[in-house]
Amino acid sequence: MTIKYLVKRIFYAILSLLVVSLILYILMRLLPVDYIDRMVAGMGNGTEITPEQIQELKAIYGLDDNSFGGIISGYFNWLGNAIQGNLGMSFCYNEPVTDAIQRYMWQSFAVAIVAFVLEYIIAVPLGVKAATSQYSVYDYTITVITVIGISLPSFFVGTILIKIFATDLGWFPGQGTLSDANLMGFARVGDMLYHMILPMITIVLISLGGIMRHTRTNTLEVLNADYIRTARAKGLSERTVVYKHVFRNTMIPLVTMMAGLLPGLFGGMMILEEVFAFDGIGRISYQAMQNGDVPFIMGYMMFLAILTVIGTFLTDIAYMLVDPRVKLEK
């Protein structure tokens, strides 16, 4: 890996983040109803507020000028502060955006990272086995599970799990982050982990299908390659052929999926955390979006964008590990 390659990738990453941030900011400012409109609408008919007062409030929050020039000016103000590590004050939560994100992201991160690891540990071996047992009962069973996993939305699977394991069996809590907000230390961590089980299982179940399908398809392609036939002709055992030659080459396309999987998990948590009433970064971001909280949504979306950039870079590194032919020198 050369310095030239690193500099080029960092430049492209910064450029991508700038373009993404500009598009996001413009879209947020073009929402039909902003935070002030929602706040005024929630005051009820008993509160009198004049259009001039509404405009003054919008000016305080930087939402008064929705012309193209006003939006661009607001974006560069936001960008200048963001470069200094200041993402602004959240309208809804009345605290710095960075503090709110740091406070809520770790619960979601714990669920997402464990689900990420479990998905690959479970799905890759099942996909490889399905490919090596093509057209068998096992293969057809995996195919059916794959279709079901891809088809079912997360909120449906989550609701079913709550009904079975929380309401009917009472094994796990159905909703919430903690049973008792006064818990401290290991008791608090243990109770929080207990509440994470059903959301974690939901993510794994809905993600297994896609990874198994890709693994099976990629494995079938590798099994038909000339060098695999040559390896078999040399007298190598089927186990050696599959796990030494086929498996490593099967992982190359799967590595590409890893770049977007982790940010995708965080993005998908937005609806799932609402279903489980789990106070993670996804749920509070969803509530902030409903209220037009521009600073918080910008901070959250840039958090996802940075995760994507990091994931892409790590994918390039992983390519070298799974495929010696790849050299990061361009």
Smallest Cα–Cα separation from 75: which of 326, 283, 295, 329?
295
Q: Tell which phi-psi region holds residue 123, choosing left (phi > 0), alpha (psi between -120 and 50) or beta.
A: alpha
pLDDT band at 266 (very low <50, low <70, confident <90, very high): low
Mean of per-residue pLDDT scores for the chain: 78
- Tell me the C-alpha distance between 304 and 160, whole Å: 28
Contact assessment for residue 96 and residue 246, using Cβ atoms and an 8 Å cutoff: no
pLDDT surpasses 70 at 268: no
- Tell me the C-alpha distance between 60 and 62, whole Å: 6
Helix, strand or coil, per DSSP, at residue 89 = strand
pLDDT surpasses 80 at 98: yes
Phi, psi for 151 (deg, rounded to 5): -80, -35
The amino acid at residue 260 is G
Length of the chain: 330
pLDDT, tens digit, 9 for 90 and up, residues 167-186: 888 888 888 777 777 777 77
Q: Tell which phi-psi region holds residue 88, choosing left (phi > 0), alpha (psi between -120 and 50) or beta.
A: left
* pTM for this predicted structure: 0.72
Smallest Cα–Cα separation from 18: which of 68, 71, 76?
76
The arithmetic mean of pLDDT across residues 234-260, rounded, is: 72
- Tell me the C-alpha distance between 56 and 313, whole Å: 45
Helix axes 185-223, 154-161, angle to 10 degrees: 130
pLDDT band at 40 (very low <50, low <70, confident <90, very high): low
pLDDT, tens digit, 9 for 90 and up, residues 216-239: 888 888 777 777 778 778 777 777
pLDDT, tens digit, 9 for 90 and up, residues 44-54: 555 667 667 66
Smallest Cα–Cα separation from 91: which of 81, 83, 100?
100
CA distances from 7 to 3, 56, 127 (A): 6, 45, 37
pLDDT band at 328 (very low <50, low <70, confident <90, very high): low
Superfamily for domain range 97-287+315-322: MetI-like (1.10.3720.10)
pLDDT band at 321 (very low <50, low <70, confident <90, very high): low
pLDDT band at 263 (very low <50, low <70, confident <90, very high): low
For residue 44, the 8-state DSSP code is -
pLDDT surpasses 80 at 295: yes
The arithmetic mean of pLDDT across residues 243-271, rounded, is: 69
Among residues of the chain, what percentage have pLDDT more than 70? 82
Q: Which of 102-106, 263-267, 306-310 has the lowest mean pLDDT?
A: 263-267
The arithmetic mean of pLDDT across residues 146-173, rounded, is: 85
The pLDDT, as a whole number, for residue 327 is 56
The pLDDT, as a whole number, for residue 260 is 62
Among residues of the chain, what percentage have pLDDT more than 90? 0
The arithmetic mean of pLDDT across residues 103-132, rounded, is: 83
Element (H, E) at 129: helix 97-132
